[in-house]
A = this chain, B = another copy of it.
Amino acid sequence: MRKSFLAILVLLLALPLVADEGMWLFNRTPNAIFKQRYGFEPTKAWLDHLQKSSIRFNSGGSGSFVSADGLALTNHHVGLDCLAKISTKDHDYVTTGYYAKTQADEVKCVDLELNVLQSIEDVTAKVNAAVTPGMTTAAAQAARRGVMSTIEQESVKATGLRSDVVTLFQGGEYHLYRYKVYTDVRLVFAPEVAIAFFGGDPDNFEYPRYDLDVCFFRAYENGKPVHPADYLKWSETGAKDGDLVFVSGHPGSTSRLNTMSHLQFYRDVAYPFTLNLLRRREVLLTNYAQRSLENDRRAHDDLFGVKNSRKAYLGRIAGLQDPAVLQAKAASETALRQKVTSDAQLNSAYGEAWQNVDAAINTYRPIYVDYRFVEGGIAFNSHLFQTARTLLRLGDESTKPNGERLREYRESNLPSLKQGLYSEAPIYDDLEIVTLADSLSNWLEVAPADPLVQQVLAGKSPQERAAELVHGTKLKDVAVRKALGEGGKAAVDASNDPMIQVARMVDAHARELRTQYDNNIAEPLRQSYAKIANAQFKTSGGDTYPDATFTLRLSFGTVKGFTENGANVPWATEIGGTFEHAAEHGNEGEFKLPPSWTAKKAILDNDKTPYDFVMTADIIGGNSGSPVVNRNNEFVGIIFDGNIQSLPWDYQFDERQGRAVAVHSAGILDALKKVYSVPGLVKELTGK
């Protein structure tokens, strides 16, 4: 939406006349807005360069090429997944950090996949043509899934590129995204987690911040570093207060098009459920982690993820529990619906959409818990179980025509799927037992009388059964996984691995739930939201952007501070402030600086170099690691967080206090030079 109705309403209430809103499609950038508001006109080349310099980290984040030799920069907390997987008890890359002095020292990640977007093609017409009027939602769902798989597989054949049909506007449009894929990715530089995530959970989603949340990788092909045609030039001065900046990254998901009833479902059902689950896992993993330093290392990455999500969801539910927020949303929905009902043609085309959303949600409610536990896998919080299920379904789905498979098993997705399935990432039996036992126990709590639960537990306690399954399965062995994965259905059917037996035991019911969800909930929602999106286009006119889909988007904004509790929060922090921030928290726990920093306190203490900074650009989870560029397309910073006021951006952008938070390009250089003394890396970035 150029300006959504919601935004318009909020504008009327309190916002400045314009808002830096929007996660824009690269094939539909709001050039008129850029020009009108900032006097800036990006050329096609400018956009292409930024697009092809931008990277999707499939572990769940964003990044960019920042050197001619394939140096890929992202956040430390995005790189963490790789860092944890290459660490051992004796070499913990997370705690100690790492620098590869030579390319020979660069450490290969076990299963990281990078995607670089090459092209976008609008295939809405082709997809919609497969769905004919009068089809049942089940038939429509199947037809749509079929045509999407076919388009993707044809594109893979034609171009050799990863090809994904992306559903935009919740079903309003379908675009084909083609990516160059890198699977040989090596660690070049990571600071210690103590400075990358300085302030820990207490400081997460807060500002001011003092975090060096960066991590450098290098992409390889055929055993050699890649030389990307497009990479971002590093600005040594970086962003300044008041600058226009752009953020190019992969926001994961937003809910801005969602109806009131859908948001209320989140508020009253989905978010409380998810928060209870996250809190449960946080307590469980914290307990496990505190038992020993090695446990702490093993659980670190999972625990970070859980706490991060918990804080994000808390911010979202707080917004939805604020009557002021919901009233604004309700008013904008009422306004749109009135426009639709007052126009016979619009009304006949889109009028029923809202009731249809309600109906789909009402279909979801009674199966919500069962769906999330059994098909969503909450009942089986175990890497080994997930592997078992993937192998089982890979066997079954592979026997079907490409268009009829569950979407994640479509031919074009198998390389990515197998990258994870055959990963050499370590699996820890003790942690697997702890998480599986707790999730089985949770399932027993929510469905004590369910015969399926009893069948899975096989007369044992959750603890006992989890230990038996984890000790009994052979799926930790990658060779066993490969034999089953490549052996097809026959091999999997013949397996008596206990974890595969459990996956098999629940699969009929899980698939039944999946079918119900896909046909009776997801499909009607897709059809309804397509109508609502179209109603918005038709009644508001102008440019617009779809909800986030973990695909490349362009955001823009101004570097500037904000006001909180009557006080000004400046646009940037300074390197030297880190020590003061640590001291204010007793230099303990999450505020204990690593030795590399305390050793350099004398020379850093008065260092005024900008360190972390804020801007009004519209971001959300998944944007972590996104490059921030200036008008000259130079790298001036890297997004790593949003402040607490930005959390409701999930359903409503608001730049009064909400800000994206980034590490400053000058601050990064300063730390690399003064703390880490890595001239090779500095030279690769700056040429100096």
Contacts and interface: CB of A to CB of B under 8 A. Distances in A.
Given A279-B280, A461-B318, A202 B448 contact: no
Interface stretch (A183-191, A227-235, A282-290, A547-555): A282-290
B461 A322 contact: yes
A445 B272 contact: yes
A291 interface: yes
Interface in A430-466: 441, 444-446, 448, 457, 459-464
A366 interface: no
A255 to B, nearest CB: 18
A233 B181 CA distance: 78
Contacts of A444: 321
Number of copies: 2
Interface stretch (A16-24, A372-380, A581-589): A581-589
Interface in A261-296: 264, 267-268, 272, 276, 279-280, 282-283, 286-287, 290-293
A310 B283 contact: yes
Given A276-B276, A588-B293, A589-B290, A317 B441 contact: yes
A58 B437 CA distance: 37
A221 to B, nearest CB: 42
B461 A321 contact: yes
A318 B264 contact: no
A462 B200 contact: no
**Interface of chain A, helix or strand or loop or mixed?**
helix
Interface in A571-613: 584-586, 588-590
A590 B264 contact: no
Given A287-B201, A585-B292, A323 B441 contact: no
A287 B323 contact: no
Nearest to A444: B321
Contacts of A441: 317-318, 321
Contacts of A446: 272
Contact of A201 (B200, B290, B321): B290
A323 B461 contact: yes
Interface string A401-430: 000000000000000000000000000000
A584 B457 CA distance: 35
Contacts of A318: 441, 461-463
B290 A200 contact: yes
Nearest to A447: B268
Contacts of A268: 445, 448
Nearest to A448: B268
Contacts of A590: 290
Contacts of A448: 264, 267-268
Nearest to A319: B461
A182 B463 CA distance: 46
Greatest chain B CB density within 10 A among A272, A276, A321, A446 is at A321
A633 to B, nearest CB: 39
Contacts of A310: 283
A441 B283 CA distance: 20
A61 to B, nearest CB: 24
Contacts of A286: 286
A168 B323 CA distance: 49
A513 to B, nearest CB: 22
A249 to B, nearest CB: 28
Nearest to A440: B321
Contacts of A292: 584-586
Contacts of A280: 276, 279
Contacts of A589: 290
Contacts of A457: 323
A266 to B, nearest CB: 11
A464 B276 CA distance: 23
19 contacts: A200-B290, A201-B287, A267-B445, A272-B446, A276-B279, A286-B286, A290-B589, A290-B590, A292-B584, A292-B586, A293-B585, A317-B441, A317-B445, A318-B441, A318-B461, A318-B462, A323-B457, A323-B461, A324-B461
In the A-B complex, list the 8 residue pairs whose CB atoms are closest, starting with the nearest: A322-B461, A272-B445, A202-B290, A279-B279, A268-B448, A293-B586, A279-B283, A202-B291
Given A321-B444, A321-B462, 4 more contacts: A268-B445, A268-B448, A292-B586, A317-B445
